[in-house]
Amino acid sequence: MPKFYGFGKCDDCDVPCTSGNFLSHEGKRFCTACWIEKRNPEHPDLEEIREKVEAAVEVWKCAKWTREQGPLPLGPKPVKK
């Protein structure tokens, strides 16, 4: 089954964008680290921000269930039963 990678990828670094870690400007999508690097290259916490963005991808990325990983969820139960 395919994985769900979020809201697309950053146009500069190709990191998948996660909720709250990207912005869209003039039709392009940027992660917060790339945006700060463009606007303020001397930012003191730039490496920490980039690490947080990349770590958020691993936490937020939702892989769909497969039969090898465990039993599939039962889903919502019908109302009449």
Q: Please give the torsion angle defined by the CA atoms of residues 38, 56, 20 and 75, in that order, rounded to the nearest 10 degrees.
A: 150
**Domain definitions of the chain by residue range:** 3-63
Assess if CATH 2.10.110 describes domain 3-63. Answer: yes
pTM comes to 0.64
Backbone φ and ψ of 4, nearest 5°: -100, 115
1, pLDDT greater than 60: no
Contact 1, 66 (CB under 8 A): yes
At 7-37, the pLDDT tens digits run: 788 898 888 888 888 888 898 999 999 999 9
- CA R_g for the chain: 18
